[in-house]
A and B are shown apart, each in its own frame.
Chain A
């Protein structure tokens, strides 16, 4: 079974600085998707970024980028120029074709002014 591990329960960063959230996963599949979701106090699950496993190029979305290391089964999220609105819980997730989504335990990020 696929598992997703986020080893940092909590992190903090100063406004305007850069922070990296870690995620590792375990799977025997070769084709899959990886995701980072943001959950602000509203509890809504908001897709931040996704990565297709067969694409070597790391995904980027404005201030958010990933470092995808397929062989190491690592998928970290880098947030540049951190903003107060980035304060949230962040979940790493894994999904196969037509299958369920597996989540890590989450990392609570606090951006300090």
Chain B
């Protein structure tokens, strides 16, 4: 089954404790991205990757890091989480320029709370 998986689905942590949210897709997609969803703001892009070892900042990158060492994986790293990073996070992928670009696949979301 074609899918994007994220782990964990729920996470409660404390300020300053490093964490990683994993994301994996099994569709051989080139393009992967991370979004955060906040009330009244919709989904905003944090980082994106157009292929292995190619990443770039989205609209709200401060406080986040990413890496793309393998095509299927795109982890989101919070080196020192703060309460303003409490949010719902989505990983997404699409075929990118190598295929049709008319659909984006989303993971199930990760609810993060930073105390």
Contact = CB atoms under 8 A, between A and B. Distances in A.
Given A44-B108, A44-B109, A98-B97, A104 B42 contact: yes
Q: Is the interface on chain B under 10, 10 to 19, 20 to 34, or 35 or more residues? A: 20 to 34
Contacts of A25: none
Q: Is the interface on chain A under 10, 10 to 19, 20 to 34, or 35 or more residues? A: 20 to 34
Contacts of B44: 103
Interface of B: 30-31, 33, 35, 40-45, 48, 50, 58, 88, 90, 92, 94, 96-97, 101-104, 106, 108-109, 111
Nearest to A44: B108
A11 interface: no
Interface stretch (A12-20, A45-53, A74-82): A45-53
B109 A100 contact: no
Interface in A94-111: 95-101, 103-106
A43 B110 CA distance: 9
B29 to A, nearest CB: 11
Contact of B31 (A9, A91, A98, A104): A98
A87 to B, nearest CB: 17
Contacts of A52: 102
Contact of B104 (A9, A101, A104): A101
Nearest to A33: B102
B64 to A, nearest CB: 15
Contact of A100 (B40, B48, B88): B48
A44, A52, A91, A100 — which one has the most chain B CB atoms within 10 A of its CB? A100
A96 B31 CA distance: 13
B102 to A, nearest CB: 5
